[in-house]
Structure 1
Amino acid sequence: MGKVVLAGSRRVEPRRPYWFAMVVCACMVLAPWSGALAMRLVKPGELPRLGAGEGLVVLALEVGAPVSAIRIAEGEGGTVKVLSGLTYGRNIRVYAAKAGDYRWSQLDLFTWSMRSRMTLRSDAFRFRVLPGQMNYPGDLVIADAGWSHASVRVANHALPVMDWLESSHPALARAMPLRYVGLYPDPFPDFYRQARAHDDRPATALNGGREPPAPGALPLPVELLWKPERLAAVSLNAAGDLLAESVRDEGGRWSVEVVDLVAGTRRRLGAFDGPAYALAWKDDRTLIAAAGSGRQRHVVYRLGSLGDANAVQALEIEGAGRIVDLLPSDPESVLFEGLDSRGTLVVHRIRLGGSRSIRSFVTARTRDRLNPDVGNDLAWFSDGSGALRAALAMRDEVPVLLHGRDGDFHEVWRARQEGGFEPAGLSFDGATIYGFTDDGRSQRDLVAFDPQSRQVVRTLFSRPGVDVVGMLVDAHREPVAVRFYASGRLVTEYLQEAGQEQARLLEAAFPGRTVAVIDRSADGSKRILWVDASDQPPRLYFHDAATGRSEMIEEIAPWLSDKTFAPAHVLAATASDGLAVEAFLTLPHGPGRRPLVVYPHGGPIGVADTLHFRRDVQFLASLGYAVLQVNFRGSEGYGRAFREAGMGAFGKEIEDDIDAAVKAALAAHPLDPDRMCVLGASYGGYSAMVSAIRWPDRFKCAVSLSGISDRALVFTSSDLMRDPDVRRQQERWMGDPNVDLARMQEASPLYRVEALELPLMLVHGRDDARVDFEHTRRLVRLLNLRGAPPVVLAFPGMGHSFDDPTALDIAWTGIAGFLRAHLGKPMEPPGAGAGR
């Protein structure tokens, strides 16, 4: 992997883990690529003589975790090859092997103090060696996933393998073409050989991309707009007079603070290494804060006199874990779960007293745990009395829900990729599970599920064409309201008229804004409101129902308070087949017709654009460009039929919906039809390139961020494809390469590269596991073969989305320069900005 971003003068360095030196030391003492004779190494430059029923196999590993050895098995049998002496980064060799079925079988991990063996069970790790062929099963990619753990996937990186063969085994590469032998076919090696048949340039000369043009002055600097928000979590105590906040200061340091809503004062309780995402009041003067992901570090704060800033006692709970229940009926205890010294999940009732630290499962005996041994349990849930009634566990690598009591638990629910019941909460008595389902329904409804009969027994809320996204419960854990999106805004609808009247009053107080109650006092009279809009960053308000008054407490991004943002307009469009489609047009202030950026969302199924505040949309609008977001078929929120209409519609009907929305926007608003570009991320990047191919006379340019260029490649290089259920789902959504390969190629920009005539910008993380960088790598190679190199920004160490400030700055500054070069500035005539 190269270190330098392909454009710009700043660098984004790949993170090198702490154990890198350890791996290097191990490589100095381990024998290289040792193993049985079932596979014999082919040395560089060697042309091996294959025996009857033998083939060649290219074994490539990308090591990013402390690995000492990897085992390969034949069929269901034992080890036939041990690969050791592995270096950090890429390891690649060619072997002669007996034809047959093989699998990556085991992974040996090591740390300074322990070794562990990981068995690879997914059928995605199987491959076949065909006789007389140069077989390539994909790279085995091993990434660090924490102390003594790793994530493992197979990724089809055929292009760099072909480059390596060309340089290390040139005669062999000419004599025996590479063939991908994973679960799905890959036509690219043959396609690439034909494309390069008469091009003698070295592969290294075909990897480059152009740098984006300099954008000039930016009205809203990327660094300012994407500055991390000030708050990570808030919690209101039962009395409604104290608000706890997880706060980030200007230096990036995190702490927990308490705001006295009566006196208007603020108190800092303690510092954390990162944001405390969980804040919970045990009682009106006892706060528990938790920081970290997964198993968390917990600190208990006991607040004394509000007038005495020093009257705060802070006690840490030993060991990382999770609070299962605050036990309101027991003022001194909580239920706490975590892993004991043997890695077993245990639940204990712990007392919050003490003077130095609070003892938990770390010092408790495992045999005294409250949770029964159900095997592979991940988390426990209790009823209103604190009794354990449900557990999330893993069965056959699938999440399941166990339900019962008094140690007797049975599986009542199993996760599905599509449809089914989605649990959301237990009733107070633990006998009912509340959640959502669209099984046999036209939309996702709020329902009650009986774990005894394993059936939905009641529908609590249903509205035609509306997918419920959340519920609110009262102090007795009974649902009191649902949340769903309507015309882009998050709506809270109460199940009783009294609550609905309060909701109407709040909406009237904040017209055109999304208003969500995110916490409230025990009696419901004091509320914390989250208020935002497409043109307003989020703000927190304190609302007193008795007086009807709302007072702002916090701005989540106060550095944006003096900025003016562009509002969004809701559009209705009708697709060519009569389907009604909703879209949102963000229109900057100013005279004249505005250039337009069409911005399709990712997913594409089960995802939707909304009218919450979006940094990327407002950044584009700050440049003077209108931004069109389309909730095309397949989008979430509009009912089951609309969502399922997106299946099999990739590249055709979905883009037809976008086309209809573009026409509706041009007809209804002051937009310049001669200055339009299309930009998208993930599926949106694919859609942008497809649109550039389908409507080359409409758009001036296209930008793809982490975009799909080859639909078949998704099946051989995405981290999702380890799961057979996901593979079946994707086959329904975008086609099965084993059946529909020709049709999928026809709808893939990679195989339509001759039609990609518009200026193109590609932005991608080199460590993207969802949409592998191979998508961009292949497309760049083919565009260079045509003599039309795209603008490219490739980021080492970055995944499917970026959170690194430097990467964000480089990417969006580059996008601004690219758009200005092809759309000009908003008030300039068409073409005036070209070539800048």
Structure 2
Amino acid sequence: MGKDGESVMKRLLQSLFLLAALAAQMALAGPERLPVGDFFKDPEFTSVSLSPTGEYITVSVPQGDRTVLAAFKVDGMKLVGKWDYGAKRHIERVFWVNDERFLMFVSRKLGRFDFRVGTPDVYASNVDGTQRADMPNLGFYQIVDVTWDDPRTILVQRSIDSAFLSKYDVYDGRVTTVATAPLRFGNFIVNAKGEPRYVVGQDEKNNLITMRRDGDAWIQVHRDEMGGDRRVPLGFDGGDESKVVFEVSRGGKPATVVLVNPETGEETPLSRNPNVEPGGFLQSSGDNPELLAIRYFDGLPSYDFVKKDHPESKVYAGLINAFPDRSVSFAGISKDGRLVLLRTFSDRDPGSYFLFDRKTNQAKYLLSAMSWIDPEKMASMQPFSFKARDGRTIHGYITLPPDSDGGPLPMILHPHGGPHGPRDMWGFNPEVQFLANRGYAVLQVNFRGSGGYGSEFERAGYRNWGTAMIDDMTDAVDWAIARGIADKDRICTYGASYGGYAALQSVVRNPDKYRCTIGYVGVYSLPLMFKDGDIPDSESGRNYLERVLPVDLAEQQRQSPAFNVDRIRIPVMLVHGGKDERVPMSQYRLLKKNLEQAGRPPEVTVVEDKEGHGFYDYDNQVELYTAMEAFLDKHIGGKSN
């Protein structure tokens, strides 16, 4: 071989060596680190609704501090109308009241993790933007039914000392009372003619009462003591008054769906999941819809079809089978049953909408929520369950980095907010995907107190925010360690709202288990919850606090991170919004002050003066999660990250 050949071979070997070194570096670095902003851009839409004729769709579009609405003609996706009600105002849902007119429920929210503040304002409009109107006081009502034979009105209900069923004019806002019932917070069930047949509400002792209409009188048919069994009518199956669909829960367990004949008392079980409550119902089209299926969110979403031979059941089941690697939810069906609006999504895919035409047997793609996300680069979210230390079954999800061989990995315990009512579910979660993309396993736990597992499971968390609920999370961490998923020496906690509380309280309760902790708009003092923020401003908020938090002040302090900073001996990152009304800055300031006085100030603080309960501004989010990434990498990152 000549010198030129030797030179070429030498350069080739050097190139191969460099490529091998680069490959080794990439293997150590974990998955390709995608831009932070890719995970936290506003989705292109948050919800889609189908008009009764199937001719139009409305699309809610988040734009920073607001959510606007756009209406399109499906044929050609031509824009026909747009609605924007200003800063911090979010068009959260649309309700069609006739073939051309819909209601918009506009809420005020002060932060990304905030609940709705106050009663929503309601506006009406034709789909082409004409005849726009403010619907006075409609936010105080609940919609019971649409009166298709009278396109001017809908049936609504409202409770003060008694329950009122009324007709509401969707053009001028006039209200005409149809019936009353001697219950508070009453919910009416009407027949196919819009006539009241059942009402469910509370008496003065907060017992749950079900009454049936008998002529002009109401007859009590069931009474549930507060927190006891539940027996609630949902509606008539196919408009047949001899077939009433009930949810029945005994002993606080997840409800069974049953069919009841009110004349004979005959009861036929239709569907039950042993772990979770019904999570939705699938009905047929037409004026008298039949119950076709019940949806459950037990691990992976699923449907239990109770009328498998119904033609529309076969359509729905076929569409579910057409997307085997996705979950399918049905967002609407035209009155004639021809057009079906469906959404497909997965743990790795934020979701897309399609319109299926039963006549042509074709599904038309409409739009995607986050078209820039490549599902192939996202992480898989796997359900799991285990026995807690007291024998109770706890469910959750574990997400591993896309290129992981299974562990042991640095891991983030990521508790959800709420805590009562919300729960973690299978689907695309930007925060979880961001953390997994950075090489971390992410552990989500539906600890006792979470919603969706029956009232007894939720009540088991009452007054135990900082004890039994935290122990469930700890036991889940131990489960992940025992299975070789988590590196026991590289575990941190991170959460927002109640999750921020749990992230810090987990460290208080187990000071040697974690290497760092991040609290985002978190509660750190339970006593302060009775004084500051918007929760104690209302009677319902005060009742909630009295029901779920410890009664004794000393116990409240024992379950508060701010009063136990001597046990927090690891690096802390705190994040808060200066305009947070749900969890005000007083919570952040108290914990920060007490940590400083103990000689262990937070290592990183991120405070945005103009943000609320969770950051909305895109640049602020990018800065926050960039800082979070650096903080986690410093304390539990490394070769496997």
Normalising by the smaller structure, the TM-score range is 0.7 to 0.9
Are the counterparts in 2 of residues 530 and 538 from structure 1 also a CA contact under 8 Å?
yes
Question: Given the alignment, which residue of 365, 375, 382 partners 1:569?
Answer: 382
Distance verdict in 2 for CA 1:406–1:314, change over 3 Å: farther
**Where does residue 820 of structure 1 map in the other structure?**
633
What is the alpha-carbon distance in structure 1 between the residues aligned to residue 200 and residue 619 of structure 2?
Answer: 39
Which AA in structure 1 matches 2:42?
A: P
1:659 CA displacement? 2.9
Query: Structure 1 residue 689: deviation in Å?
Result: 1.7
Structure 1 position 756, deviation (Å): 0.7
Q: Deviations over 1:136-182 (max 9, x none)?
A: xxxxxxxxxxxxxxxxxxxxxxxxxxxxxxxxxxxxxxxxxxxxxxx
Task: Call closer, same or farther: CA 1:383–1:527 in 2, change over 3 Å.
Answer: same
Change (3 A) 1:703 1:826: farther
Q: Which residue of 1 aligns with 2:306?
A: 495
Q: Does 1:513 align with 2:333?
A: no
**Which of 20, 39, 48 is the matching residue for 1:225?**
39
Please state how far the C-alpha of 1:237 moved relative to its aligned partner. 4.7
Match of 1:531 in 2: 344
**Aligned equivalents of 1:259, 1:826: Cα separation in 2:** 53
Distance of 2:148 and 2:476 partners within structure 1 = 52
Could you tell me how far apart the structure 2 residues matched to 1:797 and 1:400 are?
45
Shift in Å, 1:570: 2.5
2:344 corresponds to 1:554: no
Matched with 2:446 is 631
Correspondence 1:384 to 2:192: yes
Which residue in 2 is equivalent to 1:689? 504
Displacement of 1:715: 4.1
- The answer on 1:612 being equivalent to 2:427 is yes
- State the SS of the aligned residue for 1:691: helix
Counterpart in the other structure of 1:541: 354
Which of residues 575, 582, 586 is equivalent to 1:763?
575
User: Which amino acid in structure 1 is aligned with residue 398 of structure 2?
Assistant: L
| C-alpha distance 539-415 of structure 1, shift in aligned 2 (>3 A) | farther
Residue 555 (structure 1) shift = 0.5
1:613-762 alignment, distance < 5 Å: 613-668=428-483, 671-717=486-532, 719-721=534-536, 733-737=548-552, 741=554, 743-762=555-574
Question: 1:211-259 deviations in whole A, cap 9, x for unaligned?
Answer: xxxxxxx94455443333333443335565x341225398988453334
Q: Find the counterpart in structure 1 of residue 49 from structure 2.
A: 235
Q: Distance in 2 between matches of 1:733 and 1:253?
A: 32
- Given that residues 493 and 503 in structure 1 are in contact (C-alpha distance below 8 angstroms), is that contact kept between their aligned partners in structure 2? no
Kindly state the Cα deviation for residue 798 of structure 1 after the two structures are TM-superposed.
4.5
CA distance in 1, matches of 2:40, 2:507: 29
Paired residue for 1:299?
125
SS in 2 for 1:687: helix
Residue 33 (structure 1) aligns with: none
Q: TM-score under structure 1 normalisation?
A: 0.58
For residues 327-338 of structure 1, the aligned pairs below 5 Å read: 327-330=147-150, 333-335=152-154
Match runs of 1:57-96 below 5 Å: none
Deviation string, structure 1 residues 191-230 (Cα, Å, up to 9, x no partner) = xxxxxxxxxxxxxxxxxxxxxxxxxxx9445544333333
Give CA-to-partner distance per residue, 1:556-613, whole Å, 9 cap, x none.
Answer: 2223357721111233333233333333111112367542111122333443211121
Assess if the C-alpha contact under 8 Å between 1:372 and 1:407 holds in 2.
Answer: no
Instruction: Determine which of 606, 615, 631 is the counterpart of 1:793.
Output: 606
Q: Report the Cα offset of residue 657 of structure 1.
A: 2.8
What residue identity is the alignment partner of 1:781? K
Match of 1:595 in 2: 410
2:281 to 468, 471, 483: 471
**1:315 is the counterpart of 2:131:** yes
One-letter code aligned to 1:471:
F
The AA in structure 1 aligned to 2:522 is G
| Cα displacement string for residues 532-555 of structure 1 (whole angstroms, at most 9, x for unaligned residues) | 111110211233557765443220
Are 1:583 and 2:393 an aligned pair?
Answer: no
3-state SS of paired residue (2:296): strand
Whether contact under 8 Å (2:333, 2:339) holds in the other structure is yes
Displacement, 1:298? 1.3
Q: Structure 1 residues 327 and 577, CA, compared in 2 at 3 Å: closer, same or farther? A: closer
Task: Out of 407-416 and 468-477, give the one that drifted further.
Answer: 407-416
CA distance in 2, matches of 1:786, 1:255: 50
- Match for 2:591 among 766, 775, 779? 779
DSSP 3-state at the match of 1:246: strand
Greater CA drift, 604-613 or 755-764: 604-613
Which secondary structure does the structure 1 equivalent of 2:384 belong to? strand
Structure 1's 514 and 334: CA in aligned 2 closer, same or farther, altered over 3 A? Answer: same
Q: Is the 8 A contact 1:718 1:772 kept in 2?
A: yes
Equivalent position SS for 1:633: coil
The amino acid across from 1:257 in the alignment is A
Contact 1:235 1:245 in 2 (8 A): yes
Distance 2:533 2:62 in 1: 38
Which residue in 1 is equivalent to 2:71?
257
- Residue type of the partner of 2:416? H
**Greater Rg by CA:** 1
Q: Take 1:337 and 1:634, find their aligned partners in 2: how far apart are those partners?
A: 32
How far 1:401 moved relative to its partner? 9.2
Partner of 2:5: none
Task: Provide the secondary structure at the position in 2 that maps to 1:781.
Answer: helix
| Of 542-551 and 746-755, the range deviating more from structure 2 | 542-551
Q: Which amino acid is 1:574 matched to?
A: K
Q: Distance in 2 between matches of 1:591 and 1:325?
A: 50
Q: Which residue identity is paired with 1:466?
A: V
CA RMSD of aligned residues (A): 4.5
4+ long deviations beyond 6 Å: 249-253, 336-339, 372-381, 388-403, 405-417, 429-433, 448-453, 455-458, 722-729
678-687 vs 498-507, which deviates more? 498-507
Give 1:365-514 correspondences, 5 Å limit.
369-371=176-178, 383-387=191-195, 418=227, 421=230, 425-427=234-236, 428=239, 436-440=247-251, 442-446=253-257, 460-474=270-284, 475=286, 476-487=288-299, 489-498=300-309, 504-514=317-327
Paired AA for residue 292 in structure 1: V
> Residues 412, 728 of structure 1: CA spacing in aligned structure 2 closer, same or farther, 3 A cutoff?
farther
1-structure distance, mates of 2:201, 2:121: 16
**Retained in 2: the 8 A contact 1:382–1:430?**
no
SS of 1:782's equivalent in the other structure is helix
Match of 1:104 in 2: none
Paired residue secondary structure (1:258): strand
User: Post-superposition shift, 1:736?
Assistant: 1.8
Count of aligned pairs: 572
Matches within 5 A, 1:3-402: 219-237=33-51, 240=54, 242-248=55-61, 254-260=68-74, 265-274=76-85, 275=91, 277-280=93-96, 282-283=98-99, 286-288=100-102, 290=104, 292-293=106-107, 294-301=120-127, 314-317=130-133, 319-320=135-136, 325-330=145-150, 333-335=152-154, 360-361=172-173, 369-371=176-178, 383-387=191-195
Instruction: Tell me the TM-score normalized by structure 2.
Output: 0.74
**Overall identity of the aligned pairs, in %:** 26
How far residue 697 of structure 1 moved from its aligned partner, in angstroms, is 3.7
Stretches of structure 2 lacking an aligned partner (at least 5 in a row): 1-31, 86-90, 108-119, 159-163
Judging changes above 3 Å, is the alpha-carbon distance between structure 1 residues 413 and 710 closer, same or farther for their aligned structure 2 residues?
farther
Alpha-carbon spacing, 1:563–1:718, altered in 2? closer, same or farther (3 Å): same
Indicate how the Cα distance of structure 1 residues 452 and 648 shifts in structure 2: closer, same or farther if over 3 A, else same. farther
Larger CA deviation: 718-727 vs 690-699 = 718-727
Choose 660-669 or 529-538, whichever is displaced more. 660-669
Q: Distance in 1 between matches of 2:129 and 2:397?
A: 50
Checking the alignment, whether the CA contact within 8 Å between 1:232 and 1:277 is kept in structure 2 is no
Following TM superposition, by how much is the alpha carbon of 1:785 offset from its aligned partner in structure 2, in angstroms? 1.1
The Cα shift of 1:614 comes to: 0.9
Q: Distance in 2 between matches of 1:760 and 1:556?
A: 34
With over 3 angstroms needed to count, the CA separation of the structure-2 counterparts of 1:253 and 1:277, relative to structure 1, is: closer
User: Per the alignment, do residues 317 and 623 of structure 1 end up closer, same or farther by CA in structure 2, a change over 3 Å counting?
Assistant: same
Distance 1:784 1:558, change over 3 A: same
